[in-house]
């Protein structure tokens, strides 16, 4: 009797297809391209760009955008909570021209050259997704290059405790937004504030301080100056004709006297006058000392003068009669003595 060996039943063809499709679907989900696309791909200064998030699976709960290729808290631009009111919350490097979209994307309007760099998003669904992209910002061909745009200080030499206006002049066209930085360049870490004149929206930056206030024409006013306010200030202004940028140095003097333009000249003039007066006093003292000390010594070394001899002669003339008179008086007295003696002798006789 022959024994028949049982062979395992083969899977139906349809089951094999379903398993293969499941594995393929799982592989596609794991390797799905969660990336950021730039729309448009080559944005220019003054344009808007959308950092479009694609390849998201699951329901978005929250997303965070960072300036840089990492997710350091100090580089956070904003975070977005879809179930909160308000949904968008600013971070340390918040851009007043940036806003989050509900699909996790980031939109930046009125681009400037300082916006160029890496951007990173961290998106949370039932899992965490992270991606980075480099944003180039091209110079616009219609940028206004020959503008007379400058910044003037009013007053020119402000002192501690005073107020100063960094006055924007030479701007042509309609001002769309203004960004002020503490430093000689538009670095996001040096951002003081951003200002949208049309809507009076003011957004503070890492270098913001409450004594700084933007003006509708794009100028910046700083009140109650302190010495730490001294330094370079940079303004970026976007108009309907292009982008403008200018850097100005703000001096802060200790008091109002030191800020006077002619103060140094007055000090030098005072020093010169003091030196001349001191020289005159020294010469006068030397002449007086010569007359009182040196001159008498020289006269003694030369002997008595004619004036002294004449004085002695007068003195002798005065004494001579007196001495003669004294001699006569002595003669009479002696005569009297002898006269008395003769008389006595005669009486004896």
DSSP one-letter string for 275-322: HHHHHHHHHHHHHHHIIIIIHHHHHHHH---HHHHHHHHHHHHHHHHH
The answer on 93 and 118 residing in a single domain is yes
pLDDT value at residue 61? 92
- 154 and 131, same structural domain? no
Mean pLDDT of the chain: 76
Residue 236 shares a structural domain with residue 182? yes
Give the span between the Cα atoms of 35 and 133, in whole angstroms. Answer: 8
* Peptide bond between residue 306 and the one before it cis (omega within 30 degrees of 0): no
Q: Is the pLDDT of residue 306 over 70?
A: no
Task: Please identify, among 250, 268, 302, the residue that sits at the C-terminal boundary of a domain.
Answer: 250
Q: Cα(153)–Cα(166) distance, rounded to whole angstroms?
A: 5
Tell me, yes or no, whether 330 lies in a domain.
Answer: no
d(CA 97, CA 135) in angstroms, rounded, equals 15
- Could you tell me if 117 and 80 lie in one domain? yes
> Over the stretch 107-158, which tens digit does the pLDDT of each residue have?
999 888 888 889 999 999 988 889 999 998 886 544 444 457 889 999 998 9
Q: Which of 215, 231, 250 is the last residue of a domain?
A: 250
For residue 242, is it within any domain?
Answer: yes
Q: Are residues 72 and 97 in the same domain?
A: yes
Q: What are the DSSP E strand ranges found in 145-283?
A: 150-154, 164-169, 175-182, 191-196, 201-204, 212-214, 220-222, 231-239, 242-250
| 116 and 176 fall within a common domain | no
Better pLDDT: 215 or 287:
215
Residue 257 has pLDDT above 70, yes or no: no
Neighbours of 86 (CB within 10 A): 7
* Residues 48 and 117 grouped into a single domain: yes
Question: CA 186, CA 307: separation in Å to the nearest integer?
Answer: 94
Assigned token pair, 257: 């006297």
Reported as a single tens digit per residue, the pLDDT across 262-293 is 455 666 777 888 888 888 889 887 887 777 77
pLDDT of residue 207: 94
The CA distance from 130 to 123, in Å, is: 6
In a domain, 336, yes or no: no
Asked if the structure places residue 51 within a domain, the reply is yes
pLDDT above 90 coverage of the chain, percent: 36
For residue 327, the model assigns a pLDDT of 45
Identify whether residues 130 and 154 lie together within a single domain: no
Q: pLDDT category, 322, cuts 50, 70, 90?
A: very low
User: Do 66 and 36 fall into the same domain?
Assistant: yes
Enter the tokens of residue 226. 């302190």
Q: pLDDT-based confidence at 85, cuts 50/70/90?
A: confident
Domain that residue 71 falls in: 32-135
Which CATH number does the domain housing residue 169 bear?
Answer: 2.60.40.10
Tell me the pLDDT band of 32, cut-offs 50, 70 and 90.
Answer: low
110 and 50 share one domain: yes
Residue 64 lies in a domain: yes
Q: Model confidence over 328-348: pLDDT tens digits?
A: 445 444 544 545 455 444 444
Position 302 confidence tier, pLDDT thresholds 50, 70, 90:
low
Give me Rg for the CA atoms of the chain. Answer: 54
Burial label for 187, CB within 10 Å (0-12, 13-18, 19+), is middle
131 contacts: CB under 8 Å, gap ≥ 6: 34, 35, 36, 53, 120, 121
pLDDT of 217 higher than 70 = yes
**CA pair distance 169, 150, nearest whole angstrom:** 6
Q: Are 205 and 191 in contact (CB under 8 A)?
A: yes
Last residue of a domain, one of 250, 270, 287: 250
In a domain, 260, yes or no: no
Counted domains in the chain:
2
Domain contains 239: yes
pLDDT at residue 222 above 80? Answer: yes
In-domain check, residue 224: yes
């Amino acid at each position: 009797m022959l024994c028949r060996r049982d062979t395992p039943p083969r899977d139906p063809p349809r089951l094999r297809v379903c398993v293969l499709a499941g594995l393929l679907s799982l592989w596609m989900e794991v390797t799905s391209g969660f990336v950021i696309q730039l729309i448009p791909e080559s944005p220019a200064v003054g344009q808007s760009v959308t950092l479009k998030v694609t390849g998201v699976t699951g329901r978005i709960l929250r997303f965070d955008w960072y300036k840089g290729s990492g997710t350091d808290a100090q580089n956070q631009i904003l975070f977005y909570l879809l179930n909160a009111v308000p949904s968008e919350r600013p971070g340390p490097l918040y851009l007043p021209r940036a806003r989050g979209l509900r699909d996790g994307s980031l939109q930046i309007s009125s681009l400037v050259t300082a916006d160029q760099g890496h951007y990173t998003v961290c998106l949370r669904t039932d899992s965490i997704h992270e991606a980075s992209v480099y944003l180039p910002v091209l110079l616009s061909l219609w940028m206004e290059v020959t503008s007379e745009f400058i910044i003037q200080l009013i007053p020119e030499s402000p002192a501690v405790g005073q107020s100063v206006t960094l006055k924007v002049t030479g701007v042509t066209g309609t001002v769309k937004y203004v960004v002020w930085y503490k430093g000689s360049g538009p670095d996001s870490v040096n951002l003081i504030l951003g200002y949208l004149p049309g809507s009076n929206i003011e957004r503070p930056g890492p270098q913001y301080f409450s004594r700084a206030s933007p003006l509708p024409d794009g100028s910046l006013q700083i009140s109650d100056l302190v010495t730490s306010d001294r330094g370079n200030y940079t303004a970026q202004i976007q108009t309907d004709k292009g982008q403008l940028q200018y850097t100005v140095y703000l001096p802060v003097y200790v008091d109002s006297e030191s800020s006077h333009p002619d103060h140094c000249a007055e000090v030098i003039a005072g020093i010169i006058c003091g030196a001349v007066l001191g020289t005159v006093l020294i010469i006068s003292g030397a002449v007086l000392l010569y007359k009182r000390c040196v001159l008498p010594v020289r006269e003694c070394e030369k002997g008595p003068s004619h004036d002294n001899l004449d004085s002695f002669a007068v003195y002798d003339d005065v004494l001579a009669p007196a001495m003669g008179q004294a001699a006569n008086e002595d003669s009479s007295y002696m005569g009297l003595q002898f006269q008395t003696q003769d008389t006595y002798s005669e009486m004896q006789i």
